């Protein structure tokens, strides 16, 4: 090879190498652009007050949380009230979201970031749309793959990948391509499960006085009550052969004291499963009466229940016979404040009556007990029965008469 050929070969190597560097830099720039924006808002000038609908689409699943009559409702759950705290938190977050990095990718690369439209199958993302009262789109955001980071093995949470951010793309009408942004928030609350958006405010029994269960088999019916708020729970109409164990009835005292529900039943199927319901009547020291009907267990281990509520709330307080004037003023105010809270509680719970709810077995476990479940095991020391144990009769000891005093 002569010098001329060698110089030509070296020149070709330099040209090919230079082209390789240019192509590599372009590919790298497509994933980590020098035109990065840090700290800017994802949705600047978002008119929060105009938002009247949140529409989330993931694959073929849709969720619509819509504002109707000044109340947010879940359309896929027959307009049941939505959890306002969750709705407001999401809207506030969208208004405050700041970008960490801007990257430029081509259409062929969107699938790798799960930013394809929801109906595209593999590589598709979740579309979040904000609409006004006329269902006109205000903003549309495609939410893609979560940005993961390896956790610290020494941390209490352990190692493994944890979501620390999200790839998103703000969709623009009439634009075929939009920049992809990296956020420092994984947006985990953006989900299409309707039950996750429901307002879980529920009936709450406080200061239980009695619970009476009517079972299909009368022998399984029972009534447990107590005379004072802190008194022992007792079984009514106890039979001679029954040995009631009050420790086994302790759970009845907390019946529906902090309940929740998992989902609601379609109004069209609200009577399904109630062919032979178990009924309960619960009374409280505050004057509330709850009637609960429990249906047959569903395939997902939930129970359908229906609840109605009423209350007898005295409008005035009866003063004590020896009540001092300064005490009367304080006690009257306490009574008035408490009465207002009870009226509000009644109004809130009356609004829940028209729905049929699905609850876990744990929520109504005490209502499912049979009469025999409250009976003591043989030789148990905690048992009480209708007939108290006999008390042995002791006569005076036969010790003889005392000796006579001297001189007698």
What does the pLDDT read at residue 79? 97
Q: What is the pLDDT of residues 16-26, one digit of tens each?
A: 455 444 443 44
Q: Once rounded to an integer, what is the mean pLDDT over residues 228-257?
A: 93
Distance CA 14, CA 19 (A): 9
Q: Which helix (H) or strand (E) holds 282?
A: strand 278-284
**Model pTM score:** 0.78
What does the pLDDT read at residue 52? 98
Residue 366 has pLDDT above 50, yes or no: yes
Distance CA 142, CA 55 (A): 12
Residue 161 has pLDDT above 50, yes or no: yes
Residue 169 has pLDDT above 90, yes or no: yes
Q: What is the pLDDT of residues 297-335, one digit of tens each?
A: 998 889 999 999 999 999 888 888 888 888 888 898 999
What does the pLDDT read at residue 327? 85
Contact 162, 147 (CB under 8 A): no
What does the pLDDT read at residue 103? 87
Phi and psi at residue 245, to the nearest 5° = -110, 105
Output DSSP code: residue 269: G
Strand partners, 225: 210, 234
Instruction: Supply 290's token pair.
Output: 């709850």
Task: Label residue 209 left, alpha or beta by phi (over 0 means left) and psi (-120 to 50 means alpha).
Answer: alpha
Bigger pLDDT: 340 or 152? Answer: 340
What does the pLDDT read at residue 106? 87
**Segment among 223-237, 261-275, 344-358, 365-379 with least mean pLDDT:** 365-379
Residue 216 has pLDDT above 60, yes or no: yes
C-alpha distances (whole Å) from 14 to each of 7, 28, 95 are 11, 21, 51
What does the pLDDT read at residue 290? 98
Phi and psi at residue 236, to the nearest 5° = -80, 155
Give the residue from 352, 362, 342 showing the smallest Cα distance to 306.
352
Distance CA 203, CA 367 (A): 15
Q: How many CB atoms lie within 10 A of CB 159?
A: 11
What does the pLDDT read at residue 26? 45
Distance CA 222, CA 375 (A): 12
The average confidence (pLDDT) of the chain is 85
Burial class (CB within 10 angstroms; exposed 0-12, middle 13-18, buried 19+) of 272 = middle
Q: What is the pLDDT of residues 184-207, one digit of tens each?
A: 999 999 999 999 999 999 999 999
Give the residue from 242, 216, 276, 233 showing the smallest Cα distance to 372.
242
Contact 164, 186 (CB under 8 A): yes
Distance CA 181, CA 38 (A): 10
Residue 118 has pLDDT above 80, yes or no: yes
What does the pLDDT read at residue 37? 54
Task: Give residues with Cβ within 8 angstroms of 320, minimum separation 6.
Answer: none
What does the pLDDT read at residue 375? 94
Q: What's the start-to-end Cα distance of the chain, in Å?
A: 159
The edge-to-edge listing of strands for the beta sheet with 137-150 is: 80-81, 71-74, 61-68, 53-58, 126-131, 137-150, 161-171, 180-183, 99-103
**Residue with tokens 């003063």, as numbered in its chain:** 319
Residue 397 has pLDDT above 60, yes or no: no
Give the residue from 262, 257, 275 showing the smallest Cα distance to 211.
257
What does the pLDDT read at residue 322? 83
Contact 169, 181 (CB under 8 A): yes
Burial class (CB within 10 angstroms; exposed 0-12, middle 13-18, buried 19+) of 57 = buried
What does the pLDDT read at residue 218? 87
Q: What is the pLDDT of residues 327-344, one digit of tens each?
A: 888 898 999 999 999 999
C-alpha distances (whole Å) from 193 to each of 60, 125, 196 are 12, 16, 6
Q: Once rounded to an integer, what is the mean pLDDT over residues 127-134?
A: 97
**Segment among 28-32, 247-251, 257-261, 358-362 with least mean pLDDT:** 28-32
Which of helix, strand or coil describes residue 337?
A: helix
Contact 205, 357 (CB under 8 A): no
């Amino acid at each position: 090879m002569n010098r001329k050929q060698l110089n030509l070969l070296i020149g070709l190597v330099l040209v090919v190498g230079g082209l390789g560097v240019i192509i590599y830099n372009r590919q790298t720039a497509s994933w980590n652009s020098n035109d990065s924006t840090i700290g800017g808002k994802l949705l600047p000038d978002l008119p929060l007050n105009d938002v009247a609908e949140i529409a989330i689409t993931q694959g073929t699943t849709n969720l619509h949380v819509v504002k109707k009559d000044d109340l947010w409702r879940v359309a896929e759950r027959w307009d049941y009230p939505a959890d306002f705290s969750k709705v407001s938190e999401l809207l506030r977050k969208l208004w405050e979201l700041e970008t960490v990095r801007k990257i430029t990718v081509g259409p062929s690369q969107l699938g790798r970031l799960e930013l394809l439209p929801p109906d595209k199958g593999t590589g598709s993302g979740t579309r979040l749309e904000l609409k006004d009262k006329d269902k006109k789109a205000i903003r549309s955001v495609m939410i893609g793959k979560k940005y993961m980071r390896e956790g610290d093995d020494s941390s209490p949470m352990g190692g493994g990948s944890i979501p620390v951010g999200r790839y998103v793309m703000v969709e623009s009408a009439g634009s075929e391509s939009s920049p992809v942004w990296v956020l420092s928030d994984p947006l985990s609350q953006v989900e299409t499960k309707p039950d996750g958006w429901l307002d879980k405010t529920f009936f709450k029994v406080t200061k239980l006085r009695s619970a009476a269960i009517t079972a299909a088999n009368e022998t399984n019916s029972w009534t447990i009550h107590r005379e004072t708020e802190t008194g022992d729970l007792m079984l009514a109409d106890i039979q001679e052969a029954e040995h009631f164990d009050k420790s086994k009835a302790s759970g009845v005292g907390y019946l529906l004291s902090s309940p929740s529900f998992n989902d609601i039943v379609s109004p069209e199927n609200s009577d399904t499963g109630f062919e032979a319901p178990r009924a309960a009547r619960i009374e409280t020291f505050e004057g509330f009466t709850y009637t609960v009907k429990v249906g047959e267990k569903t395939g997902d281990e939930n129970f359908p229940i229906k609840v109605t509520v009423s209350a007898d709330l005295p409008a005035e307080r009866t003063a004590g016979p020896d009540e001092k004037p300064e005490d009367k003023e304080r006690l009257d105010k306490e009574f008035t404040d408490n009465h207002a809270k009870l009226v509000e509680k009644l109004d809130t719970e009356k609004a829940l009556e028209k729905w049929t709810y699905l609850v876990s077995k744990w929520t109504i476990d005490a209502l499912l007990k049979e009469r025999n479940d409250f009976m003591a095991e043989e030789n148990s020391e905690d048992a009480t029965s209708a007939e108290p144990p006999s008390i042995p009769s002791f006569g005076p000891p036969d010790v003889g008469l005392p000796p006579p005093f001297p001189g007698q």
